[in-house]
Amino acid sequence: MTESENPLEAVIEEAGEGAATPHPPHDAISKKPLNRPLITFSIMAATIMQSLDSTIANVALPQMQGTLSATQDQMAWVLTSYIIAAAIMIPLTGWLAGRFGRKRVFLISIVGFTVTSALCGLATNLPEIVLFRLLQGMSGAALVPLSQAVLFDINPPENHGRAMSIWGVGVTLGPVLGPVLGGWLTQNYSWRWVFFINVPIGIIAFLGLTASMPETKKHFDRFDFFGFATLALSIGALQMFLDRGELKDWFGSTEIVMEALLAGLAFYFFLVHSFTHSRPFLSPALFADRNFVTANLFIFLIGVVLFATLALVPPMLQNEMNYPVLVSGLVTAPRGLGTMLGMMVVGRLVGRIDSRIILATGLGMTAFSLWQMMNFNLLMDERLIVISGIIQGFGVGLAYVPISTVAFSTLSPALRNEGTAFFNLQRNIGSAIGISVVQTLLTRNTQIVHATLAGHVTPYNLDNPAFSSGHIDPGTLSGLTALNHAITHQAAMIAYLDDYKLMMVLTLAVMPLLVLLRPPAQKSKELMVME
């Protein structure tokens, strides 16, 4: 077969050639030949639909706030309700897929996500949209982990790297392109189209999977209600703690203290229960696999760097450099192109080059891009933003696929439903913690640096172009206002640079953990021998 230049086309070609003798998915009931191209296309449509919604609504919040007559504090619940619901439901994905069948859960999730998306677009007040976003998050939680599990099962081991490159494109491009697409839809149509756009995608994904996806065997395991309840309570309380901490001044608020205590106590009960119960909610066998545990540490870091950067760069461009919303989205869009390019490259490298080398290269490029971002300034043009974004996207693309492949290369296929759910949960928790930490540091460092800079301002340095393009007269009210505005911009920019430095140090600090990973190729052979 002639190798295609596009990894997606290559997978489709290989699937078409192997349709007569397909690689059967683990636990599959259907004996019919698999239509891998249609399955892959359909599940990726569902994955991109779900991943887009993690960021696409962010840029539409000001317009939604006016339409729904809500305060800025209240509008935060439009995002928080979705994130909390998804975070709580992700761990349940494995049990639901085993109990009711993966295909049924997948189709119900698509229907639920599509319907609730339409309801969000039709909402007329704040309680309605918060409720519909909550249901949307619950419905869509299973889509990403199940799509990963399906791609593993419909492809032979030698194609897992290429399959994960396709899956990674959908997962990572959604959050990157979400602000661009959301800004364009909001500016040219209405904020409601941010949700309506999911309807045709959902219909296409549903019809495609109905026609092509095989069902899996059902496992009638007893449901560990206490284990799920304590884990869900811990995740929900942690998410509330992270989302509302900055708003409520962290531990200066009784609410935040109670949420932190609740999260810690519920997680303690979950751990004790998991180690003492005969059939806990999450199988302990997951954590006996060194590759799986180490890969989860790396995906946690990817969640921190990927989503924290997405949370920092657009506000920096809009608030400090006066970029319009749509333009800031277009400037950051090349980051997504870098991610796609990285995954196209890594899809061909996995299996030929040690995944640890690819992962180290990806993390190194990510750290280098963050070093570049430490050199941002208020007077620069967009070139460094685009270049650093492409390099970071390429690095994340290189790192994401080996992490996903290594995580499941040694894990028993029977644990894939639980494993993919936990894997994606770690990415979500990493993103939540990363966003919360960088936003908190941004606010506090801006205040600290503002006070420091203000203490060094004298009449002799007001001509510095860093303050303004002209002279500032501190003897007038307008002059003092302009001076404070200039100092605030400088302080905020320094705070952004400190956040980028923190993420660079964190990326470099986890690289020594690569020695804990075992080569996937070797483990794949061992797994085939055991099976």
pLDDT tens digits for range 452-502: 888 877 766 655 555 544 566 666 777 778 788 888 888 999 999 999 999
What are 137's two structure tokens?
A: 């998050």
pLDDT tens digits for range 431-450: 878 877 888 888 889 999 98
Instruction: Please give the Cα distance from 418 to 504 (Å, whole number).
Output: 31
Provide the mean pLDDT of the chain: 80
Q: Is residue 457 helix, strand or coil?
A: coil
Would you mind telling me the total number of residues written for the chain in this entry?
531
Cα angle for residues 110, 238, 444 (degrees, 5° grid):
115
pLDDT tens digits for range 515-527: 888 765 444 443 3
pLDDT at 160 over 50: yes
What pLDDT shows up at residue 5? 40
Helix axes 143-154, 93-100, angle to 10 degrees: 60
Asked if 93 contacts 145 with a C-beta cutoff of 8 angstroms, the reply is yes
pLDDT at 364 over 60: yes
Q: Which of 192, 191, 199 is nearest to 59 (CA)?
A: 191
Q: Mean per-residue pLDDT for 348-360?
A: 84
Cα Rg of the chain (Å, integer): 24
pLDDT tens digits for range 23-57: 444 444 445 677 888 888 998 888 888 888 777 77
DSSP designation for 18:
T
pLDDT tens digits for range 373-419: 999 998 888 899 999 999 998 998 888 888 888 888 888 887 887 88
DSSP designation for 279:
S
Q: Which of 45, 52, 43 is nearest to 146 (CA)?
A: 43
What number does CATH give the domain 285-531? 1.20.1250.20
What pLDDT shows up at residue 304? 84
pLDDT at 81 over 60: yes
What are 415's two structure tokens?
A: 């644990």
Asked if 267 contacts 230 with a C-beta cutoff of 8 angstroms, the reply is yes
pLDDT at 367 over 90: yes
Domain boundaries in the chain? 34-213, 285-531
CA 475 and chain centroid, separation: 49
What pLDDT shows up at residue 472? 63
What pLDDT shows up at residue 18? 37
pLDDT higher at 527 or 177: 177
Amino acid at 518: R
Q: Does the domain formed by 34-213 have CATH 3.40.50.2300? A: no
What pLDDT shows up at residue 200? 94
